[in-house]
Amino acid sequence: MIDARTPVEAKPPQMESLARLPVFLALQGKRAIVAGGSAAAAWKAELLSAAGAQVDVYAPQPGEELAALAARPPRGIVTIFPRGWEPPDFTGAVVAVGGCEDDAEAVRFAAAARRAGVPVNVIDKPAHCDFAFGAIVNRSPLVIGISTDGAAPVFGQAIRAKLEALIPRGFAQWAQAARQWRSEVQRSGLSFAGRRRFWQLFTGFAVTHPDRKPQPADYDRFLAETKDEGTAVESGSVTLVGAGPGDPELLTLRAVRALQSADVILIDDLVAPEVLDFARREAKKMLVGKTGYGPSCKQDEVNALMIGLAKAGRRVVRLKGGDPMIFGRAGEEIAACRAAKIPVEVVPGITAAQGAASRLKVSLTHRHDARRLQYVTGHGANGSLPSDVDWASLADPVATTVVYMPTKTLGQLVERAVLAGLDPSTPSLAIARATQADQQVLAARVADLPARLAATPLAGPVTVMIGQVFAAHAAAGAIGTAASLRTVAAETSR
């Protein structure tokens, strides 16, 4: 008898510690001061001016860069005072930046700024800084800041260079269009759900047409399309999303989009927590766990919760480990949605078998060893070994067999398959937490695998794979990470 459990809201994990809090200051029309006449001071003054600040620079000997900047500032006025700074200069400033030649000067400048209540940055002297300038990717009003807390500025610049290459410059004009259209969308009469749909259409088009200049006709089209969808925008929906075997980088783009547009996410226990980093932060997250032979939510309860939320107008994502269509009870949930006339969509995911094989670099259908790939379940609806398994197919010497939920019934399954003709020496693997950083693999002859697995239990979801394609790994006969077994198998196959 499997203990029942009820769906519970999943509390979001606490934010991990931050070396710096990324804050974007609104400086338009506000006063900033810069001390020093070096090229570095000129660069900081240029950044402040670009953000709209009125920059007062105090420099007994201003360099050419400062003179050129004052003559042609990017945005806010830059005024040069050809003298050293004085404490009264901090009055009315919102930020202060010092280009100080030595620590003694840095200490004096920082102390004066703090006495005046002004946040301070001393260039290249992080010990005296209240805030830091990071590397910047500028697609204003889309702005990305990158900080390594002063630990590795070159690394930050390298990341900036990668982002510069990834993010089209045309995004700047689309972000500007969003700024201009936002108030119009607010006045359009669309509901909250309708406005969100408008911005989804806007984003989808902008991402696929980054270099095309936004036109008023684009706004009209997005608005008309949103209104044409009518009640469909207000109605709820269900999307079954495959979370993959664990590594969040294996999520599909479509899965990420579903997670980022969800109102409620119903989560299986087998979903790796890191996957939820891609979810919309405001989405309500609920655990509706199903653990093999452990406390589980009843499927009828999960269906009722899913349907009830969708009928209330929520966009529901049913997040499942692996692929929802592979032993994920997707059929029952799809049927429940159809019976309730709730729109339902499926986003496939990477299966545990695919993920594990990729980490081990084993082809499940190697042309010399396999003619067929088959997935079977280790237990039926009652938790026991299914009675209707095609045992002859499991005994096929040129088949690769993947057994899901195998732990409790593996001994019986192997015994029946051997009686049906499966060679007891057939290579086999048990893989736990496939694709995750702590993935473990136990390799053995199939006849020995149940005893080996009982003697060395593997924590987490386990998948068993059987077939000649695993010969090198079975010969290694070891337990370890995927990487260590790849090495052992390579040496064994020489």
Residues designated catalytic: 268, 290
Residue with tokens 């499997």: 2
Running DSSP on this structure, what letter comes out for residue 438?
A: T
Report the distance separating Cα 145 and Cα 160, nearest Å.
9
Buried b (16+ CB within 10 A) or exposed e, 121-146: bbbebeebbeebebbbbbbeebebbb
Q: Which structure tokens are listed for 370?
A: 């396999």
Measured between alpha carbons, how far apart are the two ends of the chain, in Å?
A: 49
Report the distance separating Cα 473 and Cα 475, nearest Å.
5
* SS3 assignment, position 166: helix
Q: Is the peptide bond before 295 cis (omega within 30 degrees of 0)?
A: no
Q: Count Cα atoms within 13 angstroms, Cβ side, for 470.
A: 35
* C-alpha distances out from residue 5 to 8, 305, 318, Å: 9, 14, 17
Running DSSP on this structure, what letter comes out for residue 442?
A: E
User: Concatenated DSSP letters for 235-293?
Assistant: S-EEEEEE-BSS-GGG--HHHHHHHHH-SEEEE-TTS-GGGGGGS-TTSEEEE----TT
Q: Which structure tokens are listed for 203?
A: 């984003």
* C-alpha distances out from residue 432 to 75, 212, 371, 437, 441, Å: 57, 47, 26, 11, 6
Residues present in the chain in total: 494
Closest among 19, 253, 320, 47 to 156, alpha carbons compared: 19
Q: Fill in the amino acid letter for 175.
A: A
Q: Count Cα atoms within 13 angstroms, Cβ side, for 32.
A: 30
Q: Count Cα atoms within 13 angstroms, Cβ side, for 198.
A: 24
* C-alpha distances out from residue 156 to 32, 41, 123, 266, Å: 25, 20, 16, 37
Closest among 418, 401, 476 to 444, alpha carbons compared: 476
